[in-house]
Chain A
Amino acid sequence: MYIGKRTRRLRVAAPTRVPREPIPNERPLQIPAQKPEKVPTRA
């Protein structure tokens, strides 16, 4: 394939990944509940 003479150099960004749509029956991401902070209490 003849593409002619070289003209210039380019730096081209890579394709960005498209976020896929969520599947209806997919289980939601389980995020562990944070423990409540211990509050020092008076006896």
Chain B
Amino acid sequence: MSVLYRFLRRSLRRFRPGPDLPEPLLGYRFWLLGDDGLLRSWVQDYTWIAGPNEARCLVAAPWWPFRAPHPRCSCGFYALKRPQGNYIRANCKHFIVPGVVALWGKVWEHEEGYRAQWAQPLVLHGDLRLCVDPDEVRLCIDRAAAIYNLDVMAVT
């Protein structure tokens, strides 16, 4: 019974009339900022591109037929719902720059954040007073803003 129920629920999910949310979600995350102004993931070997980024599972084989984020995997673009915890502590130290990201597509909501299929960086912000070398970080932030067409809200 439960198997049939799950099968029917999954089948009917495809025929829902529209998306659950009409606009992209906003999340908070941080990037590893390079000297070249490119934003990189601080966990995975991934460099963000300008514009929308589509998530792919780095664990599954390329031929495996599912799209990230999978419910039982940890893949997808991560972002926090609120700026809290490590997001505050990692503020511009060692070129880790916090920012706001737009998330859309297939999104798994978690207790404190999201895992999304599509993501695009929108804003970089940080407290440059906490940096060891604020001028250099500011230069890299400006480079990243030019590459990714970002708004910068940095406290100097």
List residues of chain A with CB under 8 Å of any chain B CB. Answer: 1-15
Contacts and interface: CB of A to CB of B under 8 A. Distances in A.
Interface residues of B, number: 33
Contacts, number: 77
Contact of A5 (B86, B102, B104, B111): B111
Nearest to A1: B78
Nearest to A13: B19
A10 to B, nearest CB: 4
16 contacts: A1-B29, A1-B43, A1-B113, A3-B110, A3-B115, A4-B110, A4-B111, A4-B113, A6-B71, A9-B107, A10-B20, A12-B25, A12-B105, A14-B52, A15-B24, A15-B104
Given A9-B71, A9-B106, A12-B103, A3 B24 contact: no
